[in-house]
Amino acid sequence: MIDLYNAESRFAECRGFRLHYRMMGSGEGPFMLLLHGSFLSMRSWRSVAGPLSEMGTVVVLDRPAFGNTSRPVPSRQNAVSYAPEAQSDMIDEFLGVLGIEKAILVGNSTGGTLAMLTALRHPERVSGLVFVDAMIYSAYAASGVPSVMKPVLKAASPLFARLMRLLINKFFDRLLLSFWNDPARLSAGTIAAYRGDMMQGNWPRGFWEVFLETHHLHLDEQLGSISVPVLVLTGEADRTVKVEESVRLAEELQDSVLEVVADCAHLPHEEQPEVFLGAMRKFLLRMM
C-alpha cells in the first residue's frame, strides 16, 4: 500500500497560487480529489489516501493558506483571490491542468464547502461528492465580514495579520483537539506536524486573507441543482458541525446516502479511518 508521504510532492501554478499536491493510484478507476478542512493540511488524509488509491486515482491538495501551498498577498499587481468562489474556480482549473475531465470531490469541513461550491459552479467537472462533516448551512458557508467594514480591515491587514498570528499560536493545539471525540488519540507529534504545515512563510497574512473573503454563500438555496451521487458522513459527536446539519444535507440532496460514524467527532477519516474507508468502498461501488 502506498503511504501518502511516500508519494512524490508536486506543484502546479494555478490562479496565482503554487499549489502543492501528491498523486497516488494506477490511473484506473475513479479520480478522487481530497480537500482538507481549515487549520489542517493534506496530512489530514494520511490514514485513508493510500487505501483509496487502491480503488482509483487519488490527489491530495494543500488548500491556499495551508500546508506547502503558497500564500501570495493580493495587490494591484497581483490580483490573486482567496474568496471561496475563486478557490472553486481554482479547483476546476487545477483538474484541467492535471487532464482530469471529471472527479469525485471529497471535502471535510470547509473543504466540503468548496466541494459543494465547485459542483455548483462547474457541474461538468464533478462526477460525485463526499461531504465529511461539511460546512454547508453554518460557519464558513453562512458567515461573513460586513462589506462596509472590508475597506477598513483591508487597510489594516498587516496589523490584523499579526493579531491572527498571536491568536492562532495560542489556541491552535486546543482547536485541533476539539475536532476529536477522544483527544487522547491525537498525538503531540501529529499536532506539532500540523503546526509545521500551517505556520510556513507569511501564514498569518494568508489566513487573514481567507477570513476577509468569507461571506454568506447561500448554498442551502441551491441544493436542488446537485444531481450527482453524494455520500454524507458525520461523526456522531461532532461539535464543529452539528450532526443535524449533515442529516438535513442528506435529506435535501437528490441522490445521497448518510453515514453517521460512532465514537467520532469532526474528522471521521482521521479518528475512524476504517469506517470511513468502508463507507467510501460502498459509495464507489454504487457509482460503478
Q: How far apart are CA 244 and CA 241, in angstroms?
A: 8
Residue of 83, 80, 24, 36 lying closest to 61 (CA atoms): 36
* 26, pLDDT greater than 80: no
Residue of 282, 278, 251, 160 lying closest to 209 (CA atoms): 160
Q: What is the CA radius of gyration of the chain?
A: 18
* 1, pLDDT greater than 60: no
Q: How far apart are CA 43 and CA 21, in angstroms?
A: 11
* Structure confidence by residue, pLDDT tens digits, 139-196: 989 888 787 788 888 888 988 899 999 999 999 999 999 999 999 999 999 999 999 9
* 96, pLDDT greater than 60: yes
CB 9, CB 20: distance < 8 Å: yes
In the chain, pLDDT over 70 holds for what percent of residues? 99
Structural domains in the chain?
9-287 (3.40.50.1820)
Contacts (Cβ under 8 Å, ≥6 apart) of 257? 230, 231, 232, 250, 282, 283, 286
In the chain, where does DSSP find H-type helix? 49-53, 84-97, 110-121, 150-155, 157-178, 188-198, 203-212, 243-252, 268-271, 273-287
